Amino acid sequence: MPFLCGAHNMPAMSEQALHILIIDNNQLRASIIEDGLREGARVRVTVLGETTELLRRISEIDPDVIFIDLENPNRDVLEHMFEVSRAVKRPIAMFVDQSDQASIEAAVDAGVSAYVVDGLKKERVRSILETAISRFNAFERLKRELEDAKTQLADRKVIERAKALLMQTRGMSEPEAYTLLRKTAMNQNRRIAEIAESLVLAAGLLGGEDDK
């Protein structure tokens, strides 16, 4: 399943082996991460040393989690990796040897789940993996809750406008207007908000509802 435009279903660490991609052109440092991941964990590891056409390669590999080791990256390399983080919708742990506050803030904005400065040690890798997954899942849950809240607010607004239209044009009471919307939605197997939106749109086209 392509993942560049949507969230990934993260398997529980106890359910199945996680497929982890390590992006690192330094074989020794990559082996430190790989050794740390394999200690006490069911994982499948792929190591990628080249970053050419990186998004395409990640899409083909389709990992569950991504570890990126950059040693001492320049600003352009960091920004490129932040763009990758925004696109792939996966837990990402990024290792750098040095950083500044601006880069740390940029990493957070880009959705990097764990941004580790001068902390590439084998014994820390396992806990960093767990932290990255936990933070990613928490962030995705918050985003879903925010989107649900926005949708519910928009639905309430359009339903109120539709009820007001029915009360004005048909002389209905508020309960009668809502009952009609609900009955129509049930008959058409649609959401009440969809019926309300159609009514408001039609009224606007006919000049019966101001576009506010």
* Averages of pLDDT over each 10 residues, the chain, 212 residues: 45 71 93 89 88 91 94 86 91 91 90 90 92 93 92 94 94 94 94 94 70 45
DSSP conformational letter for 53:
T
For residue 11, the model assigns a pLDDT of: 55
Distance CA 80, CA 82 (A): 5
The owner of tokens 């052109």 is: 25
For residue 4, the model assigns a pLDDT of: 42
For residue 3, the model assigns a pLDDT of: 43
For residue 212, the model assigns a pLDDT of: 45
Task: Judge contact between 66 and 20, C-beta under 8 A.
Answer: yes
For residue 184, the model assigns a pLDDT of: 95
Q: Give all domains of the chain, ordered by start, each with its CATH number.
A: 18-120 (3.40.50.2300), 146-205 (1.10.10.10)
Residue partners of 171: CB distance under 8 A and separation at least 6:
none
Q: Which of 111, 106, 117 is nearest to 132 (CA)?
A: 111
Half-sphere exposure of 26 (CA within 13 A, CB side): 14
Distance CA 51, CA 28 (A): 17
For residue 39, the model assigns a pLDDT of: 83
